């Protein structure tokens, strides 16, 4: 089904993709057809296609981060792309779509602005790591030109479709979409969170006939947010009291802004390094998407921002530094770890899920990390805190129940069966693959 041919020349790369669109399709009611371009049975490269008559919509079009990343299937001409939120597994292929078809992009202001930051960063990393990606600077420019802002509660009209936005509670600006073609009613959740965090307000389940829901945490419950915050702050205090440094790797989008607010009560020298600062400024500019602009601003004011190598050297000696990347696969965090790796008093406090084959996972499993191609033993204490921005198993189940759907289509998870078993007690469940076809 999937065939990608890449050629690379000295001046510019060209990616020739010969891909077939998924054969998997759902036909809803009279004329609405749904299929997927990727991301159904794993967390990454999500893309859902909806067609009615001559109109084709796409909901998310992401890639799976990696060196190099992997991609979803190529989609045919698409009239509009609706982005749920600015994580690369949901937005990564949007510039390709703009360059290829001039597709209109819909998203909230927070999603669209942060997306540009991430897409430019993807181009930079691909240059540094010397691998090709299927879009260039002009495609990212096209992305900005084709962007159309949508707010919560707004409706977009494309062909026979009406698309309505709702808060998804995952990160600032994250959106669920209700899609209606005059007879059918489908909700696409993107990624959701159903508990309040310092940064975001929880999502509520919308009543619908067909619920297309993420299932990242199927089979995995979360501890309560309050407990996680308490344990995190106790560990920070313990490390400071024993004279160690606290290194907090955090994802730039969402997690960094939450962590700086959690650290608000710790009055000591704190530094912030990496892309999280730029993202925080976007959130402060569009503060309707965050719970409290005042709280985020007050928390950020206590941090000194790293802008130069000299400042980074100073930050490395400071009691607390919050920095990217969250999974230790590059970014300034590696310099901080290199500086402190032989100090058992220092602690590395991981604040997000560590995917297999990342430096963060290797550190948790073996106590070692790769820096500049060398495997280094790390003597620091390493702790992991479950600050997920996704609903856990029990919350996903409750959310699905609250939507009172007839049908639930589970996507974006590598262990969907456990959640499917629980949902089957109140709705018909589908676990689509890219090769199978369902009609109903
Ligand atoms: Zn996400």
CB-based contacts of 29-34 (< 8 A; 24+ apart in sequence): 29/181, 29/183, 29/184, 30/183, 31/160, 31/181, 32/181, 32/183, 32/184, 32/186, 34/186, 34/212, 34/409
**Confidence tier at 28 by pLDDT (50, 70, 90):** low
Pick the closest to residue 276 from 382, 352, 381, 169 (CA basis): 352
CA of 212 to the centre of ligand 1 (A): 15
Would you call 301 helix, strand, or coil by DSSP? helix
pLDDT digits (tens, 9 = 90+) for 39-69: 999 899 999 999 988 999 999 999 998 878 9
317 CA distance to ligand 1 middle (Å): 33
Classify burial at 420, counting beta carbons within 10 Å of its beta carbon; exposed 0-12, middle 13-18, buried 19 or more. middle
Q: What is the pLDDT of residue 439?
A: 39
Over residues 351-366, mean pLDDT = 93
CA of 243 to the centre of ligand 1 (A): 36
Ligand 1 center to 343 CA (angstroms): 34
Cα(320)–Cα(307) distance, rounded to whole angstroms?
16
Q: Which residue would you say has higher pLDDT here, 86 or 14?
A: 86
Tell me: pLDDT of 429 over 90.
yes
Q: Which residues 6+ apart lie within 8 Å of 329 measured at CB? A: 67, 358, 359, 360
Please give the distance, rounded to the nearest whole angstrom, from the Cα atom of residue 43 to the centre of ligand 1: 9
Please give the pLDDT value at position 356.
Answer: 84
Measured in angstroms, how far is the CA atom of residue 85 from the centroid of ligand 1?
A: 7
Given the structure tokens 């003597």, which residue do they identify?
379
Distance 170 CA to ligand 1 centre (A): 7
Sequence-ordered list of residues with C-beta below 8 angstroms from that of 33, at least 6 positions apart, any chain: 25, 26, 27, 50, 51, 52
Using 50, 70 and 90 to split pLDDT, how confident is the model at 8?
very low
Q: What separation in Å is there between the alpha carbon of 7 and the centre of ligand 1?
A: 31
Ligand 1 mean position, distance from CA 393 (Å): 16
* pLDDT at residue 434 in the model: 82
What is the distance between the alpha carbons of residues 191 and 395, in angstroms, rounded to a whole number? 13
What does the angle CA 143 – CA 144 – CA 145 come to, to the nearest 5 degrees? 90
User: Is the confidence at residue 220, as pLDDT, over 50?
Assistant: yes
pLDDT higher than 80, residue 23: no
Q: What share of the chain is helix, strand, coil (3-state, %, to 5)?
A: 30, 25, 45
pLDDT score, position 29: 56
**Residue 110 CA to ligand 1 centre (angstroms):** 14
Residue 2 above 50 pLDDT?
Answer: no
Contact 245, 319 (CB under 8 A): yes
Give residue 10's pLDDT band: very low, low, confident or very high (50, 70, 90). Answer: very low
Stretch (H or E) spanning 25: strand 25-28
1 has a pLDDT exceeding 60: no
Q: Is the pLDDT of residue 79 over 90?
A: yes
pLDDT of residue 435: 59
Q: Which residue has the higher pLDDT, 6 or 50?
A: 50
Ligand 1 centroid–CA 8 distance in Å is 31
User: Residue 33 — very low, low, confident or very high, per pLDDT cuts 50/70/90?
Assistant: confident
pLDDT of residue 30: 58
How many A from CA of 28 to the centre of ligand 1? 27
**pLDDT tens across 196-216, in order?**
999 999 999 999 999 999 999
62 within 8 A of 44, measured Cβ to Cβ: yes
Rounded to the nearest whole angstrom, what is the distance from the C-alpha of residue 389 to the centroid of ligand 1?
8
Q: How far is ligand 1, taken at its centre, from the CA of residue 6, in Å?
A: 28
Q: Could you tell me the residue ranges of all domains in the chain?
A: 22-220+389-430, 225-384
Q: How far apart are CA 203 and CA 359, in angstroms?
A: 32
| Average of per-residue pLDDT values in the chain | 91
CATH H superfamily, domain 22-220+389-430: Ribonuclease Z/Hydroxyacylglutathione hydrolase-like (3.60.15.10)
DSSP readout, 111-142?
HHHHHHHHHHHHHHHHHHHT---S--HHHHHH
**Confidence at 24, pLDDT banded by 50, 70, 90:** low
Q: Tell me: the pLDDT tens digits for 221-269?
A: 999 999 999 999 999 999 999 999 999 999 999 999 999 999 999 999 9
Please check whether the two domains, 22-220+389-430 and 225-384, share a CATH topology. Answer: no
How large a percentage of the chain has pLDDT more than 70? Answer: 92
* Span from the CA of 345 to the centroid of ligand 1 (angstroms): 33
Q: What is the DSSP letter of 107?
A: E
CATH code 3.40.50.10890 for 225-384: yes
Q: How far is the CA of 415 from the centre of ligand 1 (A)?
A: 17
Non-local (6+) Cβ contacts of 142 within 8 A are: 95, 98, 99, 102
């Amino acid at each position: 089904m999937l065939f990608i041919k890449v050629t690379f020349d000295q001046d510019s790369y060209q990616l020739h993709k010969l891909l077939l669109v998924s054969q998997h399709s759902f036909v809803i009611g009279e004329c609405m057809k749904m299929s997927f371009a990727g991301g159904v049975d794993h967390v990454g490269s999500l893309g859902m296609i909806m067609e009615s008559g001559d109109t084709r919509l796409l909901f998310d079009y992401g890639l799976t981060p990696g060196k190099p990343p992997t991609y979803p299937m190529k989609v045919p001409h698409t009239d509009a792309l609706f982005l749920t939120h600015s994580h690369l597994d949901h937005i990564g292929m949007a510039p390709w779509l703009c360059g290829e078809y001039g597709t209109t992009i819909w998203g909230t202001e927070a999603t669209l602005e942060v997306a540009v930051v991430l897409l430019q960063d993807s181009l930079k990393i691909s240059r540094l790591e010397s691998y090709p990606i299927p879009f260039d600077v002009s495609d990212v420019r096209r992305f900005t030109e084709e962007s159309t802002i949508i707010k919560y509660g707004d409706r977009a009209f494309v062909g026979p479709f009406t698309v309505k936005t709702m808060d998804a509670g995952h990160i600032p600006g994250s959106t669920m979409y209700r899609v209606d073609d005059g007879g059918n009613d489908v909700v696409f959740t993107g990624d959701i969170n159903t508990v309040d965090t310092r940064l975001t307000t929880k999502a509520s389940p919308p009543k619908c006939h067909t619920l297309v829901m993420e299932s990242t945490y199927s089979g995995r419950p979360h501890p309560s947010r309050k407990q996680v915050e308490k344990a995190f702050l106790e560990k920070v205090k313990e490390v400071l009291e024993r004279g160690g440094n606290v290194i907090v790797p955090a994802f730039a989008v969402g997690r960094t802004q939450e962590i700086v607010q959690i650290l608000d009560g710790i009055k000591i020298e704190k530094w912030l390094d990496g892309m999280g600062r730029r993202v925080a400024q976007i959130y402060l500019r569009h503060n309707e998407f965050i719970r409290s602009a005042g709280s985020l601003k007050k928390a950020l004011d206590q941090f000194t921002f790293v802008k130069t190598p000299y400042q980074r050297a100073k930050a490395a000696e400071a009691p607390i530094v919050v920095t990217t990347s969250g999974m230790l696969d590059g970014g300034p965090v590696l310099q901080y770890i290199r500086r402190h790796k032989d100090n058992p008093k220092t602690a590395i406090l991981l604040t997000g899920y560590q995917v297999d084959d990342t430096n963060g996972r290797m550190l948790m499993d073996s106590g070692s990390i790769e820096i500049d191609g060398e495997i280094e033993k790390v003597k620091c204490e390493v702790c992991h805190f479950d600050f997920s921005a996704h609903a856990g198993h029990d919350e996903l189940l409750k959310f699905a129940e609250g939507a009172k759907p007839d049908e639930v289509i589970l996507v974006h998870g590598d262990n969907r069966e456990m959640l499917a078993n629980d949902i089957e007690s109140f709705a018909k469940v589908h676990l689509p693959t890219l090769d199978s076809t369902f009609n109903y």
